[in-house]
Amino acid sequence: MQTHEIRERFTEHFVKAGHAAVPSASLILDDPTLLFVNAGMVPFKPYFLGQQNPPYENGTATSIQKCVRTLDIDEVGITTRHNTFFQMAGNFSFGQYFKEGAITHAWTLLTDPVAEGGFGLDPERLWVTVYLDDDEAAEIWEKKIGVPAARIQRLGMEDNYWSMGVPGPCGPCSEIYYDRGPAYGNEGGPAADDNRYMEIWNLVFMEFERGEGDGKGNFPIVGELPKKNIDTGMGVERIACLLQDVDNVYETDLLRPVIDAAAQLTGATYGEKQEDDVRFRVIADHSRTGMMLILDGVTPANEGRGYILRRLLRRIIRSARLLGARGETLETFMTTIMDTMTPSYPEILDNRERITRVAVAEERAFLKTLESGTHLFEEAAAQVKSTGRDTLAGQQAFTLHDTYGFPIDLTLEMAAEAGLEVDMTGFETAMAEQKARAKADNKAKKHAHADESLYREWVDNHPTEFTGFSELTGDATVLGLVAGGQAVTQATEGQDVEVILDTTPMYAESGGQLGDRGRILTGDAVLDVNDVQKIGKKLWIHKATVRSGGIDLGSKVRVEVDGDWRHGARQAHTATHLIHAALRQVLGPTAVQAGSLNRPGYLRFDFNYTDSLSPGQLDEIGLITNQAVDADWQVNTVETSLDEAKKMGAMALFGENYGENVRVVEIGGPFSLELCGGTHVEHSSQIGPVALLGESSVGSGARRIEAYSGMDSFRYLSKEAALAGGLATALKAPTDELPERISQLTEKLKAAEKEIENLHRQQLAARTGELLERATRIGDITVLATRLSDGVSAGDLRTVATDLRGRLAGTPAVVALAAADGTKVPFIVGATKEAVEKGVRSGDLVKLLAGYIDGRGGGKPDMAQGSGADVDGLEAGFAALRDEIGKF
C-alpha cells in the first residue's frame, strides 16, 4: 500500500466518523517556542489550552501534519529509526469522546480489512501499553476490544504520560505496538524490546493539569481540566514500513527512490557496508526534509531555520561525495523526492523550479568550500597526528569555519572518521568573540557571500606586513586586485576594487575597531579606501574605489591613512579599555567583556551581566572613566610571550588562542592591563571627555554600554547643556532645580489628564441611557446594534458595552457597537449571561460582523471585539447579526 493511499485511508476513516479534515499547517508557525512544527497537535494548541474555541462543528478533527525534529540530527542514518521529517496522522477530540472512543477508532482502522477501508493488520500481532494506574484504559482494551491481558503492559510516566513540558494540559496515554517477529529481537512485548515491537500509534488522554517541574515525570498534578480531550498521533512512515513489508522507513516508497538515485549517481551499493548505508540514509532523509523546508519558505542562512536547512543540504552533499559522487547531485535528489511526495503534497508541483534553484545554488557555493576545507582539514589532522596528539585545536576548527566557511558539524564528523576529537570549548570561545564583534551594518563588507578560497594563495604565501602602529603613511607593492569576486590585473576609474598589498599602515578591522579609511596613490591614480578587512588573520584587504586614473597589478603605491579617522578610532578604542576597567571596579570581576565596536567618536561595549545597571552604578562608571582620562596616564604597549603576559596579569578576552607572541596594552599600571591588537592614544588624556549614553540589554545575561569620546562627546555634552539651559529659561528656574520643577509639572499634567478621563467616562455613562432607547426585541432577546459617533476608541467601546450589558442583566440581551476611529473601525459584541445560556456566542457574532467590514476579531462567549477597515459595511453587518440572533 503506497504512502499516499495510507494517508487517504486515515483521513477517510475519521471523516466518516464525523471529524473535520484539517489540512497540514506550515512547518513554520508564529510560535516563539518552536523552530519548526514538531508534533501533530501543535496547530491545535490554542484549543487544548482553552485559548480559543475549536471551530469544528462536532468538536472533533483529524489531520496529517508535517513535522520536523532536528535535535537528534546526528543520529540520522546511524539507526533506521530517526527521521528529521515525518508525517503525524492524528485525530483530536475537544471535550467529545474520550478513552473508549479513541481506542475504538484506532483499533478499527488498524485491523479492519483492506477491502473495508482499514489497514488489515493482524490483531494477534498488536500489543498495547497503558499508564501504570490507568485501569480504565486497560479494561477497555481487554473487555471491549478483546486484547488479551498478556499483551497489555503498564509503564510509568517516562513512557506513558504526556505533557507539553510546561504547566498546562497533561494526561496518561496508551501506545499501540506491532510485533515484527523474532528476527527483530526478543520476546516480551514493548517493555522488553521496542525494536521488535514497533510503536505505531500514541493515544493521549488529556484530562489533567500539571504544575511546575523538571523532566518528563517530575511534576505535580494540580487538578482536572474542564473538558477531557483526545490527542493521538500515528506515524505514517512506520505504518508504511509495515504495510509495504520492508525492513525500515528508509526502504518505503517515499525514501527508497532517493537511495536508488544516490546509488546510480555514486556507483556505491546500498546494503553492503554500514558506513555507506549511513550516508545513503542521510541523503534520503535530508533530501526530503530540505525539500519540505524550502517548500514552506525557508532559505539557507547562517542562523535559525536557515542554518538548519543549510546544514541538512551540506550533509547531503558531503555524504554523496564520500559515496563517490563527483559534481552536483542535489538537483537529482530534489527531483526524485519531489516526485515521491507530490501525490501527498500537490503544492510541490507549483514550486519545483524554486525548490531546485535554491538547493542547486547552495550546492554550487558549498562545493567550492568543501574542496578547499577538506584539504585544509586533512593537513591539520595530519599535523595533529604527527605530534602524537588526538585533539584538533578549537582555533583550527574555528579558522576552518570562519575563514573558509567549513561548518563545524562537518569538521566534527571528519575528525571522528579520522580518530580525532575537536576542542569544542576552544571553538565556542572563538565563535563567541566573532559573534560579539559582528556588526549588522557591516555584514556585506565581510565576505559573507564571497568565495574566500580565492584568497588562499595570498594568505599562504604573501601575508600582509602591518606598519600602522608606528606610521600613518608608507610605500607598498600591489600583490593582488579583486573585482566582482574575481582576480583581475587592473582597475580603472569608477571601479570598486579590493587591493592586496605587501605592506600597509592601514588598520584592518578586528578587536571591535573598524578598519581605517584613507587613500592609495600611484602616478595620477587616486583610490579612496573605505574599509580594510582581514582574511585568515594574515591578509589585509583594502576595499577601495578608483576615484581617478587606474591601478595595475605590481604597481608601486603610496598608502595614506586618514589621520582624523585614525585619531577618533584610537580615542574610542582606548576609552573602551577604561570603561571595561571602571565597570569591573563597580560590578566586580564577573562583568566580563563580550564584544565591542569602536569607530571615531563612538563606542559600544557588551559585557556578561544578568542585571540592569542602576543610574548610580552608571554614573560611577562614568566618573571612574573620566578620572582615568584626567589622570593623563601613559598608554604603554609591550610585545611578549603569552605566558609572560599572563604572569603580568593581562586579561585575555574570549579565551582566544593568541599565538606565541601577544601585545599587551597597559594604562595606569594595574588599572587596565589587556591583551589587544588595536591602535591606541599615547596618553589617556588624549581621549578627551567620555560621555556615557546609557546601558541596555542585548540578550539573556548580556548588557551593553554606549558612549561618545573626544569631540563627539564634547558636542553631545554641549547639546545637553544647551537643552538644559533652554528649559531653565522657559521654566524660569536654575538648572539645578530643573528635575524638581519638571516633576511638579508632570504631576500636574497627570492630574489634569485623570480629570479629563473622568469627565470623559461620565459623558460616556450619560449616553448609555440614550442608547438603550435604540434597543429592539428579536424573539425574546433584546438587541442593541448601533454605530456610535466617529472618533470613539476601542477602549471607549468596551466601557460603554460593559455598562450597557450590566444594565440589561437579568434578561437575554446582546449589545453590538462600532465606530469609525480614523482609518480603523473598532467594534465589540457583548452578551448577558441569559443570552449565553440560550446559545449566543459573542466570539461567533464578532467574526460574522468582521466579514462585512474587512476585519477580524475574537473573544469569549460573553464579550468579544475586533477591528475592521470598511465602515460602509457596518449596516449590512448589523443586519446579518440580527438575522443570526433571530435563530436562537
Please enumerate, by residue number, every residue annotated as part of a binding site for Zn(2+). 573, 577, 676, 680
What span, in angstroms and rounded, lies between the C-alpha atoms of 858 and 52?
Answer: 9
Cα separations in angstroms, 785 against 261, 854, 858, 883:
65, 18, 17, 12
Helices and strands in the chain: count of H runs, count of E runs: 24, 35
The total number of residues written for the chain in this structure = 888
First CA to last CA across the chain, in angstroms?
A: 49
The contacts of residue 33 (CB under 8 Å, 6+ apart) are none
Cell representation of residue 490: 587592473
Q: Give the integer Cα–Cα distance in Å for 521 and 550.
A: 10
C-alpha cell at 362: 547552495
Cα 215–Cα 219–Cα 221 angle in degrees, nearest 5: 145
Q: Give the dihedral sign, CA 139/141/144/147.
A: negative
Distance CA 849, CA 877 (A): 5
Give the closest residue to 89 by CA, choosing from 18, 171, 160, 7: 7
> φ, ψ for residue 154 (rounded to 5)?
-105, 130
Cell readout for 696 is 541596555
Residues with Cβ within 8 Å of residue 656, at least 6 apart in sequence: 395, 429, 430, 433
- What residues contact 262, with CB distance under 8 A and at least 6 apart? 268, 270, 280, 283, 284, 320, 323, 325, 329, 333
| DSSP for 783-796, written as a single string | EEEEEPPTT--HHH
Instruction: Please say whether the beta carbons of 553 and 489 come within 8 A.
Output: yes
CB 49 within 8 A of CB 168: yes
Q: Label the pairing between strands 152-155 and 161-163.
A: unpaired
DSSP per-residue codes, 799-843: HHHHHHHHHTTTS-EEEEEE--BTTBEEEEEEE-HHHHHTT--HH
Residue 627 CA to residue 393 CA, distance in Å, equals 42
Sheet holding 661-667, edge to edge: 635-641, 661-667, 672-675
Question: Can you name the residues that pair with 705 across neighbouring β-strands?
Answer: 605, 695
Are the C-beta atoms of 507 and 464 separated by less than 8 Å? Answer: no
Q: Which residue has the cell 591578509?
A: 539
Identity of residue 16: K
Do 204 and 171 contact (CB within 8 A), yes or no? yes
**Residues 6 or more apart whose Cβ sits within 8 Å of residue 17:** 60, 105
Report how far apart, in Å, the C-alpha atoms of 327 and of each of 258, 330, 405 are: 17, 10, 19
Q: Which residues does the annotation place in the binding site?
A: 573, 577, 676, 680
Question: In 112-212, which residue ranges form alpha helices assigned H by DSSP?
Answer: 135-139, 157-160
CA proximity to 452, closest of 534, 329, 552: 534
Rounded distance between C-alpha atoms, residue 280 and residue 250, angstroms: 9
CB–CB of 130/138 below 8 Å?
yes
The one-letter code for the residue type at 504 is: T
Which residues are within 8 A (CB) of 200 and not within 5 positions of it... i.e. 6 or more apart? 110, 176, 177, 178, 234, 235, 238, 239, 242
Q: Which three cell numbers stand for residue 332?
A: 537529482
HEC string of 90-139?
A: EEEEECCCCHHHHHHHHHHHHHCCHHHCCCCCCHHHEEEEEECCCHHHHH
**Distance of alpha carbon 311 from alpha carbon 327, whole angstroms:** 19
